[in-house]
Structure 1
């Protein structure tokens, strides 16, 4: 059990920079009256070293807090959430701070004895301790700070909470934690996510800690270097303090430049410095998450991770645990891992692209932590790198002979990511040398042809060729890659067709394709029975998908995304055979008609998400959607200029949680029975000018049970909407040439 140094409640405000606004926001939360509960919990969440404890101290000692609460208590919890110890520490803190706001005369004799002799606490059992605590807090307005909480066990929290709810209204519990899951189990109404410190405040902190008083004015060059050092700390005060401590009283420019140019994980670290502080979070992770986190160090700093591709990356290396039950897939396990790392502040800058697709980043200091852990296995290669022979996972950030020479020393490589353009000769050398390659990322490359020798990589599980605009054909030898699970060919705009033998890649689970061909062959792709995800995007000539597909094909397909196919007239997909399909997204297919020629009431679909976007020929929803009445949770229709109305059978979708209709200029009616959509939680109508205000009001009354209703009230029934629709197309399928797209797609 690792335990950080026990914290106390005092901080000198003159040593704190840039947290004035944060403090006032916390003060507002502390002073608010929550009528729904007598004791409210306010978590401050952020990565290690960000200043959560300091912010709590500033608020705890504020004069307004001292006068507002009858009793204030501060307890450092750390990793050991032992309820008996916590009760004892709360009582000790309370007894120490009983002051003029507290009516001592009204206390029972048992508590008066404690005030006279605090050592009595050491001899009380759990039952006696909890009695004293409840007596102390009864009907009192108190503030309790629980600093550095790691506990994720709800039952342990419930045991402590039961003893704290006897306080009066306006009592508050202020919690600092690195893990948003901790806040969740505490049933909080407001979580305060602490951001990084502004650069100028970080600079002020560096000057205070690195220079003697007045010394900084004598060394303007050092100040300029110091500003560059501050930038690498990315707003984390403890990182600034760590580096300032290394620089204290040093005036040699070379020493300052050495700190600036070194990765933090290469610098000497003492107990309490930034990397040891961050490593506490890492030590808390279960082993499988430690592995997955460490592997992320192979990507460069500021890399924009995509959830779907990172999961495939982990799968390629076999580091995802087997699913807990039959309804789960490995992809579900990977998604749980990402969300767990997000909740623990290892990932940040979460951005939802579409319902299935989101991006995130690692803080630079968290990346340094990952590098310090995985330095023997993972490396970002530059011209100045020094690689050890054991390295297995590489991303090539630069090119040139210096990089090629470094690779010649290696033999155990399993991962190669070409971050920058590399010559074909280097690719051929890598294929010849590294026979145990599992992952090869050649996205953004411009190889006209792939070496046929790629078929010799029998262990290859992940191949990314996306955004290659000149490749025309894939070598037939690629079909020998029987272990391949992930093949990404998105935005390969000159790829003439898929190889005929692609059906032999029997392990393929994730396929994204752009092709100039007019039809995807059922004999090829339709036989990929391991396929879970299929993305078809920016196929300008494509007219049909899987024409005449036989029953029993693609029975494991869970997600199908089709976008940017203006010539597509029919899916020809025999939708009834896709019994595992959960997510269907179709966008920007101007000629696509979804009208069913043959209705089949015996369909066994299990769709959960359906989105239609920019389908001019869509007038009504297809009848086959009724087969998903018990499973469909999210339905969105956007930018469909001829879509007129929702069907009368819509209220039969008894699992529907989200319903959005946007930018549909002739949409004019909603079905009766909307009140039967009892699971609905979000209902949005946006830029649908033909839907009358009378209809909106009638429906609003019928769906009063829905928590989130947006009817876009600022509309004009006589003038068509001119608002531009949200461009919500997945990065895998979009083929547009704008800078924003290229940035997200290339990452």
Structure 2
């Protein structure tokens, strides 16, 4: 969904609590309905985070959230009409008769009493529909009171340190580069930290495994340890995991103080290599607490950190960040052939090999995407099945746990609520679209999804700029090109765009001459300017955004 049901409730409650809405409710005699609506929406909001976390495994929840979002969007539209009416009223006070023409243009009725009656009926109808939806939630066993950011996220499987070198293609140069960094002696530091950064599925963990098991590295370090951190950066847990990796089993009943003594003694005068795989922690104080326990080793000890977040690399790294690039096309194809065919069978199917080359282009250099699509086709020789994979967007194909979109969704799950909303709206723009910071901020502002500034010296544009920087640091945007101090461009990786589409589902649509548009669509991007827009829109009642492709997209 372009915006989660939780996101719509936040916006709706903001509208209901505004001074404008309060003024209207008194003036138009609808205060009771709006008060009841606000109370019901607040009760629904209390369980929504739990519902949205569980919906993937519960069809009833998925259906309920869809119904809920429909009625909440309708409620928002009605309240928007209220706000428009107030603006008209204020315009008449300020500008007199000229503004009457504006009011005439916007009003659905020239009769103020009729318009008021129409709005009152709409509010009552929406309130009754929300009540009906709210009654259903009691049968869904949802937990109340969860706050955004405290829900349990689905994390990736724990990783281990082994990989067979023959199963890895195209990472020899990266491996040698990292080994050189490991062998380099950093003056003045006992322990150096080397971050590897890139989007999910790029092969950061695989590269770390290759380096970890290389003969040169094994002989260089007296002690090697591997810990998969994932989202739970708990220092006590990490001390235990480091000790287990080094010595095997430990006494789980040891106190934190006993654990830290054992860790420091273990590392004392040892040149070690520690891999901390899959880091999400942005709290520098937590890292410093762990780092202090690792500094008693010999000079030349190294820590490799893998992360999707460049900010994590900044707070942890002491060496320059190693930004991992995608595989070149030929290596991607070699990997695809290795995984899609039984050994030696590929030469029997030259037609499938050609289709395979076209499929690999969709993967944009990301090995996990190659593995996902190759896995869908393994041992299949029906040309129609291969063409189906070639001709469909990755987000629309079957995905299992550990495949590319679930892997990318882990990074989406880690986003704070306000960034989730803003990211999902980016699905409305086509692949390879070159974003400008000013354009995207205005787009977010037009949809009312930027949070209010936290201090009086901050403008809404400043908030949007902070959001862009954070999405850049988390690898949701890439190819940053700073052209002027306040103007820069960036793009979204095709697979990240697929992730956004999978979240937006049918609510965002890029329209071409051959498109069929769902009646549920809320946001449209017209890719061909010469299309007959009226014909396409006349049966669509839920459209809120229309963008026309120009040198600078026009938002309606």
Q: Same fold (TM over 0.5)?
A: yes
Q: Is the 8 A contact 2:201 2:407 kept in 1?
A: yes
Alignment counterpart, residue 247 of structure 2, candidates 95, 98, 101? 95
Give the Å deviation of 1:3. Answer: 1.9
Q: Is the 8 A contact 2:195 2:317 kept in 1?
A: no
Give the Å deviation of 1:397. Answer: 1.6
SS at match of 2:325: coil
Alignment counterpart, residue 65 of structure 1, candidates 214, 217, 235? 217
Alignment counterpart, residue 154 of structure 1, candidates 281, 284, 287? 284
Partner of 1:311: 441
Give the Å deviation of 1:185. Answer: 1.3
- Paired residues for 1:248-647 under 5 Å: 248-398=378-528, 405-419=535-549, 441-442=553-554
Structure with larger Rg: 1
- The gaps in structure 1 that reach 5 residues or longer are 97-117, 422-439, 443-461, 464-747
Give CA-to-partner distance per residue, 1:407-434, whole Å, 9 cap, x none.
222122222111269xxxxxxxxxxxxx
Q: C-alpha distance in 1, partners of 2:381/2:371?
A: 17
Partner of 2:293: 163
Give the Å deviation of 1:122. Answer: 1.1
Q: C-alpha distance in 2, partners of 1:337/1:232?
A: 28
Q: C-alpha distance in 2, partners of 1:372/1:386?
A: 18
Runs of 4+ residues over 6 Å off in structure 1: 400-403
Q: C-alpha distance in 1, partners of 2:258/2:478?
A: 44
Q: Is the 8 A contact 2:393 2:498 kept in 1?
A: yes
Partner of 2:109: none
Q: C-alpha distance in 1, partners of 2:496/2:206?
A: 20
- Segment of structure 1 superposing worse, 276-285 or 322-331: 322-331
Aligned residues: 404
Give the Å deviation of 1:404. Answer: 5.5
Partner of 1:80: 232
Give CA-to-partner distance per residue, 1:77-114, whole Å, 9 cap, x none.
01111111110010010114xxxxxxxxxxxxxxxxxx
Q: C-alpha distance in 1, partners of 2:252/2:241?
A: 11
Give the Å deviation of 1:388. Answer: 2.4
Q: C-alpha distance in 2, partners of 1:350/1:320?
A: 22
Q: Aligned pair 1:211/2:363, yes or no?
A: no
Q: C-alpha distance in 2, partners of 1:63/1:217?
A: 35
Partner of 1:230: 360
Partner of 1:490: none
Q: Is the 8 A contact 1:383 1:399 kept in 2?
A: no
Partner of 1:516: none
Alignment counterpart, residue 271 of structure 2, candidates 102, 122, 141? 141
SS at match of 1:81: coil
Q: C-alpha distance in 2, partners of 1:172/1:420?
A: 50
Q: Is the 8 A contact 1:383 1:400 kept in 2?
A: no
Q: C-alpha distance in 2, partners of 1:315/1:62?
A: 51
SS at match of 1:7: coil
Give the Å deviation of 1:383. Answer: 3.2
Give the Å deviation of 1:140. Answer: 1.0
Q: C-alpha distance in 1, partners of 2:439/2:530?
A: 28
Q: Aligned pair 1:40/2:170, yes or no?
A: no
SS at match of 1:388: coil
Partner of 2:74: none
Partner of 2:329: 199
Q: Aligned pair 1:5/2:167, yes or no?
A: no
Q: Is the 8 A contact 1:2 1:79 kept in 2?
A: no
**RCO comparison, higher one (Cα < 8 Å, 6+):** 2
Give the Å deviation of 1:28. Answer: 0.8
Q: Aligned pair 1:179/2:305, yes or no?
A: no
Q: C-alpha distance in 1, partners of 2:486/2:542?
A: 35
- The gaps in structure 2 that reach 5 residues or longer are 1-152
Q: Which has the higher helix share?
A: 2
Give CA-to-partner distance per residue, 1:148-169, whole Å, 9 cap, x none.
0111111111111111111111
Q: C-alpha distance in 1, partners of 2:538/2:177?
A: 56
Q: C-alpha distance in 1, partners of 2:533/2:455?
A: 45
Q: C-alpha distance in 1, partners of 2:444/2:325?
A: 29
Give the Å deviation of 1:252. Answer: 1.2
Partner of 1:27: 179
User: CA 1:269/1:402 → structure 2, altered by over 3 Å: closer, same or farther?
Assistant: farther
SS at match of 2:156: coil
Q: C-alpha distance in 1, partners of 2:203/2:251?
A: 32
CA-based RMSD of the aligned residues comes to 1.6
Q: Is the 8 A contact 1:297 1:374 kept in 2?
A: yes
Q: C-alpha distance in 2, partners of 1:12/1:340?
A: 36
Give the Å deviation of 1:402. Answer: 8.1
Q: Is the 8 A contact 1:416 1:441 kept in 2?
A: no
